[in-house]
Amino acid sequence: MQQEVEHLRAKLNELKSSLASTSADKERLFQEKLELHQRINGLTNDRDAFLKVHLRCKIQNVVVFIHFFFFFFLFLGQSVQLHGGRICIAFC
């Protein structure tokens, strides 16, 4: 009977130790999960900022091209007009 009690106490201590280790692992994994979510949010924000800058650059390139186009044809003496979103060039 005494041996059985000692065996059960040893088993109880082993289970307590395992519980503490598992709890620590659970907390560590939870912290890692939070860090990964923060990284994902940071990367998402970086991606969104990059896409906005990229879009602004594309729009700016189109605007520069349109200005060049207008000035080029004005330089050649052509009449350039905008009608309903379309560019009309009148050749004189």
Per-residue pLDDT tens digits for 2-57: 898 899 899 999 999 999 999 999 999 999 999 999 999 999 999 999 999 999 99
Q: Are 88 and 81 in contact (CB under 8 A)?
A: yes
> Is 0.75 surpassed by the pTM of this model?
no
Beta strands at 79-83 and 86-90: parallel, antiparallel or unpaired: antiparallel
Task: Report how far Cα 21 is from the mean position of its chain's Cα atoms.
Answer: 35
Please give the pLDDT value at position 33: 97
Please give the pLDDT value at position 1: 87
CA 40 to CA 80: how far, in whole Å?
49
Please give the pLDDT value at position 90: 63
Which amino acid is present at 10? A
